[in-house]
A and B are shown apart, each in its own frame.
Chain A
């Protein structure tokens, strides 16, 4: 009876260490974001600007992608289109095979998680090594990222130290954050020299110049995209923007919204493979442009707003539900509010429809989203799609949440609320019958008492007080 999501959530709620770590990290991230804005006006202005940039990009998506492809090719970057996750995986595999490469070093990429690349490559005898510190930890632990920016936020320093020590007993045990980072670097460094292929994600793609932009803090993204002779960037088609001048505002709002940083340590602009006479850089650069359901969202005027997302995670960090259950409970690649609107659109309401109910619609997500995605409204819309029986809806899995008995109840409710006489009679009756109405309702009363119906309704009381009714 209880869904998988509810079981996962309950289990997360019962793990004290997860609760403590989550609570600490989300509140810290919120404080950092808050501190990043000197004036509320500045934030509002920048948000308006960034929303317009992303709206424009999503509106012109097909033509910008064409322009992007032309310019990437002109720059010597090889472009691969992938309609599905499987196609994207095969593109990467065939590049690996062509170079006879058995190891791929990876910078952080949520799209590679989306297509489950590591698992796919492993099945083909290829090892994928995560080099982002958080992702490295997650990979060692054999888990999935619990957050899109801070993949290991559910673990504390001690747990990370123990994990590293277990896998690399040759190094001295430490719980010092800087020393832990140094240690991971040391372990990873050798691999950078020998890997023939490096893979990264992409934060923005500039259509007018054919440039890939990569935002990161650790420098591993730069290593993955410059040291191996082959660099593969995998990304969703929605990451395109029109102009170079769109980048500074987006970068500024992205880093502040994510971690409260005014700028990250590294910002990479990749515009071509190594040119004749140049001493470094990859000899081949590939970009894999993944659709995987995005074009379905693009065709729906309301849902297309989802594609504006710049994956800053602010909505996740401010979500009171995420704050209590963490990322794993969602059972998706992207957790939190953005995941709850994105995953049902990409992978179907039949599989992920419940996530649209994993929200109180409190609006904290909508409030902080730097590109003004009306997340709560989209959740509301997807709840509709889940119950719809008409053919006008192209959301995958539409209508899968239709339950005849539930619909009958809502119809009864609507009938009552549109027949004031019946409404007044039944509410009056309900109040009179309040003693015999069931006094419990488990889901509610586990932690609460049952509210009692009033002796008389407001309608009756105001009538008795002689309040005018017209």
Chain B
């Protein structure tokens, strides 16, 4: 996949911000930029980017998914990594583009782009070997790993690794962590009863950890779990791992 040597850290990367973060959680995108800059990396953010195409792809609208995905391909021409602060969108690009573009004239191009896609937490750990210094108060943090992070992207252990840098943070994994939170994009709307049962169970396991904070690589899950916690009136903050890390390493008392 990547030719990794201790001396050749990438100095410039593309950021693919994802439409969800663009529209609802831009602070996670900003934090991603700050973290990458903190690690000495320059960021290029093509302003013409929109969406990876996953919503249409997973709903069976391949023609539309293809058009949207195709519009992203040309935005990332340089042979440098493309960082995605979502394992779900990263998975779409890295593993599903090959299926989406199969037999298309730009299949080779799509495969090339796919090969340069990295999920953020994995990139911070494996490619940048980022060093972080905690300046926050003691805190127990529950880690939620999205299904894409756990499975195809195989970055389930990256958040715990990142949190190890933070000496005041006690990272815990909820029981049955491998079970899906019930978001599934349109699933939450098409099968609301099952989705509700799944997210409420997820909430129970997260609450049982006694954590004061929830973090994840994916805002899809966070939106689902976070809104459910909020509805129940549970005081448990949820944040993207980039936001959380960036906040923790700010010196609070300069």
Residues of chain A touching chain B, judged by Cβ–Cβ distance below 8 Å, are 6, 9-10, 13, 320-321, 323-325, 357-364, 366-367, 377, 380, 383-388, 401, 407, 410-411, 413-414, 416-418, 420, 423-424, 427, 430-431, 441-454, 456-463, 465, 467-470
Chain A residue at minimal CB-CB distance from B59: A383
Given known contacts A413-B56, A430-B23, A443-B189, A448 and B228 CB-to-CB distance under 8 angstroms = yes
Q: Tell whether, in the assembled complex, residue B191 and residue A9 are in contact, meaning their CB atoms are under 8 Å apart.
A: yes
Whether the pair A10, B24 counts as a contact (CB closer than 8 A) is no
* Cα distance, A364 to B152, chains bound together (Å): 11
Q: Which residues of A contact B226 (CB under 8 A)?
A: 451
- Please determine whether B193 and A465 come into contact, CB atoms closer than 8 angstroms: no
State the 6 A-B residue pairs at the shortest beta-carbon distance, nearest first.
A360-B184, A383-B60, A448-B227, A414-B64, A362-B180, A443-B192
Specify which of B44, B182, B183, B190 is in contact with A468 (CB 8 Å cutoff). Answer: B44
Beyond contacts A414-B65, A454-B25: 4 other A-B pairs, Cβ-Cβ < 8 A, are A359-B184, A360-B183, A387-B61, A401-B60
Of the A-B pairs whose beta carbons lie under 8 Å apart in the complex, a sample of 11, sorted by A's number, is: A361-B184, A363-B152, A364-B180, A380-B57, A384-B61, A431-B23, A446-B192, A448-B199, A448-B230, A454-B24, A457-B22
CB B78 to nearest CB in A, in angstroms, measures 9
B190: which A residues are within 8 A, CB to CB?
357
Contact of B22 among A9, A383, A458, A469 (CB under 8 A): A458
Interface residues of B in 10-63 (CB under 8 A from A): 15, 17, 19, 21-27, 29-30, 33, 42-51, 53, 55-63
Q: In the complex the two chains form, is A447's CB within 8 Å of B26's CB?
A: no
Given contacts A360-B147, A414-B67, A446-B192, contact A467 B43 (CB under 8 A): yes
Q: Does B169 contact A (CB under 8 A)?
A: no
* A460–B182 CA distance with the chains assembled, in angstroms: 31
Closest residue of B by beta carbon distance from A448: B227
Tell me if B151 is interfacial: C-beta within 8 Å of chain A: yes
Would A413 and B27 count as touching, CB distance under 8 A?
no
CA distance A460 to B22 in the complex (A): 9
Query: Within the complex, what minimum Cβ distance (angstroms) separates B28 from chain A?
Result: 8
B178 CB–A CB distance under 8 Å: yes
Distance of B45 from chain A, by nearest CB (Å): 5
With both chains docked as a complex, state the minimum distance between the C-beta of B166 and any C-beta of chain A, in angstroms: 25
CB A277 to nearest CB in B, in angstroms, measures 57
By a CB distance below 8 angstroms, the chain B residues around A431 are 23
Closest B residue to A469 by beta carbon equals B47
Residues of B within 8 A of A446 (CB): 192, 196
Whether the Cβ atoms of A461 and B71 lie closer than 8 Å is no
Shortest Cβ gap from B49 to chain A (Å): 7
Contact indicator B51/A424 (Cβ below 8 Å): no
Residue numbers of B with Cβ under 8 A of A are 15, 17, 19, 21-27, 29-30, 33, 42-51, 53, 55-65, 67-68, 70-71, 99, 147-148, 151-152, 178-180, 182-201, 223-224, 226-228, 230-231
Interface pair A447/B231, CB less than 8 Å apart: yes
By beta carbon, the residue of chain B nearest A302 is B99
A388 neighbours in B (Cβ, 8 Å): 60
- Which residues of A are found within 8 Å of B198, using beta-carbon distances? 320-321, 324, 360
B191 close to A6 (CB less than 8 A): yes
Residue of A nearest to B30 (CB): A461
**Shortest beta-carbon distance from B141 to chain A in Å:** 21
Contact present for A444 and B189 (CB under 8 Å): yes
- Distance between A331 CB and nearest chain B CB, rounded to angstroms: 14
Q: Which of B15, B64, B71, B152 lies in contact with A411, CB distance below 8 A?
A: B64
Q: Are B184 and A468 in contact (CB under 8 A)?
A: no
A467 contacts B33, C-beta separation under 8 Å:
yes
Q: Is the CB of A358 within 8 A of B64?
A: no
Q: Look across to chain B and name the residue whose beta carbon is closest to the beta carbon of A420.
A: B48
The reply to whether A9 and B194 contact each other, CB–CB distance below 8 Å, is: yes
With A324-B194, A384-B62 already in contact, the answer to whether A360 and B180 are too (CB < 8 A) is: yes
Indicate if the CB atoms of B22 and A459 lie closer than 8 Å. yes
Residue of B nearest to A445 (CB): B231
CB distance from A34 to the nearest CB of B (A): 11
B187 touches A469 (CB 8 A): no
The smallest beta-carbon distance between A401 and chain B, in angstroms, is 7
What chain A residues lie within 8 Å of B147 (beta carbons)? 360-364
Tell which of A10, A13, A359, A449 touches B230, judged by Cβ atoms closer than 8 Å: A449
B residues near A424, Cβ cutoff 8 Å: 47
What residues on A are CB-neighbors of B185 within 8 Å?
Answer: 360-361
Most chain B beta-carbon neighbours within 10 Å: one of A320, A359, A361, A441: A320
Q: Which of A324, A411, A459 contacts B197 (CB 8 A)?
A: A324
User: In the bound complex, do residue A469 and residue B51 qualify as a contact, i.e. CB atoms below 8 Å apart?
Assistant: no
Which residue from A420, A441, A451, A453 sits with its C-beta under 8 Å from B50?
A420
B45/A449 in contact, CB under 8 A = no
Tell me the minimal C-beta distance from A435 to chain B in angstroms.
15
Contact of A384 among B21, B25, B60 (CB under 8 A): B60
Distance, CA A445 to CA B24, complexed state (A):
17
- Which of B45, B151, B188 contacts A462 (CB under 8 A)? B45
Of B22, B44, B230, most buried by chain A (CB within 10 Å of CB) is: B22
In chain B, what residue has the closest Cβ to A424? Answer: B47
B-side contacts of A420, CB under 8 Å: 47-50, 71
Q: B180: which A residues are within 8 A, CB to CB?
A: 320, 360, 362, 364
Closest A residue to B147 by CB, please name it. Answer: A362
Distance in angstroms from A70 CB to nearest chain B CB is: 38
Is A417 within 8 A of B22, CB to CB? no
How many angstroms between the C-alpha atoms of A449 and B19 in the bound complex?
Answer: 20
Which A residues lie within 8 Å of B51 (CB)? Answer: 417
Selected from B29, B43, B50, B187, the residue in CB contact (under 8 A) with A417 is: B50
Complex CA gap A459/B29 in Å reads 9
Instruction: Establish whether residues B30 and A462, one from each chain, have CB atoms under 8 Å apart when the complex forms.
Output: yes
Instruction: Knowing A413-B64, A458-B22, say if A423 contacts B50 (CB, 8 Å).
Output: yes
